Amino acid sequence: MQLPSILILDKEEAIRDSLQLLLQEEGYDCFVPKDDEGSKEYLNREKIDIVIACSQYIFKSTLLHEVKQEFPSAKVIAIISYLTYETCYLELMELADDCILEPIEFDELLGVIKKMTLPLA
């Protein structure tokens, strides 16, 4: 079974690079654009199965709205703070298929990715 390809959207380069390194070690194909334009290029060029996005992408960019409209099969994992989750739950649930609270626990992230890619029974 082929592992899903993952687009990592985070405003902080260190987090993008860390997630990419850890996920690639697990065998995932990861794409790490530096901005919205780069994200759109990857989305149009590659088959992206999962988008991992920080809260800044969720609330300060229209990119995830576009992803949900143009690529409805792509699953979105939001990386958010507890405060963001408490104050923006409804809006968040419109854009994200699942959430991970900061600080990121890598095993939890892997569990969510695996859960999202299980075949439907």
Give the mean pLDDT of 74-95: 82
Q: In this structure, are strands 75-80 and 50-54 parallel, antiparallel, or unpaired? A: parallel
Domain residue limits at 59: 5-117
The whole-angstrom separation of Cα 93 and Cα 20 is 25
Strands (E), the chain: 5-9, 29-31, 50-54, 75-80, 98-101
Query: What is the C-alpha to C-alpha distance for residues 105 and 121, in angstroms, rounded to an integer?
Result: 28
Q: Which of 39-43, 53-57, 61-65 has the highest mean pLDDT?
A: 39-43
Three-state SS for 121? coil
- Tell me the whole-structure pTM to 2 decimals: 0.89
Q: What is the pLDDT of residue 88?
A: 76
Cα separation, 82 vs 120, in Å, equals: 30
Residue 120 confidence (pLDDT):
53
- What pLDDT is attached to residue 34? 86
> What is the average pLDDT across 78-95?
79
- Domain at 46, CATH number: 3.40.50.2300
pLDDT category at 77 given cuts 50, 70, 90 is very high
pLDDT band at 121; cut points 50, 70, 90: very low
> CA triplet 63, 65, 70: central angle to 5 degrees?
90
Report the number of distinct structural domains present in the chain.
1
